[in-house]
Structure 1
Amino acid sequence: MKIELNGKRAIVTGSTAGIGYAIACGLARAGAEVTLTGRTQSRVDQAIDALRKETSAQISGVAADLGTRAGCDALIEARPETDILINNVGIFGPKDFFETDDATWQNFFDVNIMSGVRLSRHYAQGMKARDWGRIQFLSSESALNIPSEMVHYGMTKSAVQSISRGLAKVLAGTNVTVNAILPGPTRSEGVVDMLTAMADEQGESLADIEARFVAENRPSSIIQRLATPEEVANMCVYAASEQASATTGAALRVEGGIVDTMA
């Protein structure tokens, strides 16, 4: 199977590093015209330069804080239409439930949930009018295995999975598909930074910390390791393709078998 996205426009939010960057790279290599986003112009410019070295596709970027209505409006103004929308932007971080204040809950809600709601509400209308489109929400296995150390984060990932399913129903009978992607622990920039800090603090190698993290925190993992951003991106690129035309309203798991159910 050869995936070709020539002539398709894609927006990948939160794509200056990690999973988002890998998705942008995968879409670009398949021929899509890709718009990267990040909160600062310098990060966006660096990502554009890096991606242009890896692909000959047309690459551009928009700097905006998508955790705000103003930031989403700025992206929409700069890119009024798209064929593929990947709602990847998100934040995470462990915090004791009893010490997680209202402001933290609201921030996670605004960034992880409302960014995708606002952008999908706009871009899905154009996709419906053209009768073709792909929308994806980056959820997580934490949507199903709510982590006790990040209840506020798990809640947002459950929410975007619910929104994804509902929006797919809203667009029933069209050639616009909507899916949630559920990665597990992935060797993204944020996770590597967190594990590197743990390795430095405990005087162990990063490899040993990674292995212990999976064994202690995700013992049900079948692959017994962190996934790579590229492994997650492969699923996203497929779900964005013409070949995935009958895949919609789904929760597509790329979590290495952590969730111990077959459904």
Structure 2
Amino acid sequence: MQLATKRAFISGSTKGIGYSIAEALLREGVSVVINGRLESRVESAVQKLRLDVPGANVSGIAADFREPTQVQHLLGSLGNIDILVNNVGLFEVKPFEEISDHEWARYFEINVMSGVRLSRALLPQMISTGWGRIIFIGSESGVNIPADMTHYGVTKAGLLGLSNGLAKLTRGTGVTVNTILGGPTYSDGVAETIEQIAKTQQITTSELKSVIIGGNQTSLLERFIEPEEIANLAVFLASPLSSATNGTAVRADGGVLTSML
């Protein structure tokens, strides 16, 4: 994929989709910096990646995106980055009337402002060097806002606007900015949520997964997406091969969204 000389940073990448993207990029010879809230989790993920991908050039920086000062410290430690993957994000199932102002602010701070702060710092250096990739890990929930996850869906809709606006700043350069619209993905966070709900309802996780996917009548895949399937698309968008793809939302949603465009 012509990525062997590149350096990437992936926010929220000690597990789930972020971890899978880190692993996929490492297999392409990219130098990768991963991130998580806790130093212990970051170090554990770094060690696991080194075992999974022998010879991998991987390091990690702990930072909580709820804390702007920690983000500033992270940015001061990063150095030059060719590929930025804005992956970190919160989600939960919660009735709209129970979502407090504090929770709305927390979701916006992490899901949106993390991408704002990282992109604001790294996009200018990409433009000055004449090459770079910014990838937002979005969701079909940003297009079809779920009634029971309104705060999550609204922040993902915001990322679509942010990504499209930033792409307009790259006119005539070798830099691109795109969003991946993921569908229902069986990440670690989703797995934990399903396990908790299954336990409450006294059914197996397999039964609950079938109920969830079976209730989603627009899914063409008819199963959960694996994190590796999102990572495959991220690697392409990170590569020089995707040079004509800019300012767009690329789907890996399993056919959940029903519109043609």
TM-score (norm 2): 0.98
Map 1:242-261 onto structure 2 (within 5 A): 242-261=240-259
Give runs of aligned pairs for residues 183-222 of structure 1, distance below 5 A.
183-216=182-215, 218-222=216-220
Identity, % of aligned positions? 43
The reply on whether 1:113 has 2:91 as its aligned counterpart is no
Using the alignment, how far apart are the partners of 1:141 and 1:157 within structure 2? Answer: 8
Aligned letter for 1:112? Answer: N
Which structure 2 segments of 5+ residues have no match?
none
Offset, 1:222? 0.4
- 1:42 is matched with 40
Give 1:154 deviation, angstroms: 0.4
CA drift at 1:198: 1.9
- The answer for the alignment partner of 2:226 in structure 1 is 228
CA RMSD in angstroms comes to: 0.9
CA contact (8 A) 1:67 1:112 kept: no
Partner of 1:57: 56
Residue 143 of structure 2 is matched in structure 1 by 144
Deviations 1:53-78 (A, max 9, x none): 12122000000012332122111111
In structure 2, distance between residues paired with 1:66 and 1:58: 24
Dislocated runs of 4+, deviation >4 Å: none
Residue identity opposite 1:89 in structure 2: V
Q: CA-to-partner distance for each residue in 1:151-199, whole Å, 9 max, x for gaps?
A: 1110000000111011001111110000001111111011001111122
Is the 1:67–1:114 Cα contact (8 Å) retained in structure 2?
no
Per the alignment, residue 98 of structure 2 pairs with 99
Q: What SS is found at the alignment partner of 2:180?
A: strand
Paired residues of 1:27 and 1:237 also in contact (CA < 8 A): yes
**Residue 167 (structure 2) aligns with:** 168
TM-score, length-scaled by structure 1: 0.97
Structure 2 partner of 1:122:
121
Q: Deviations over 1:74-98 (max 9, x none)?
A: 1111113200000000000111111
Unmatched segments (≥5 aa) in structure 1:
none
Which residue pairs with 1:12 in the alignment?
Answer: 10
Which amino acid in 2 is paired with 1:185? Answer: P
Q: How many residues align?
A: 260
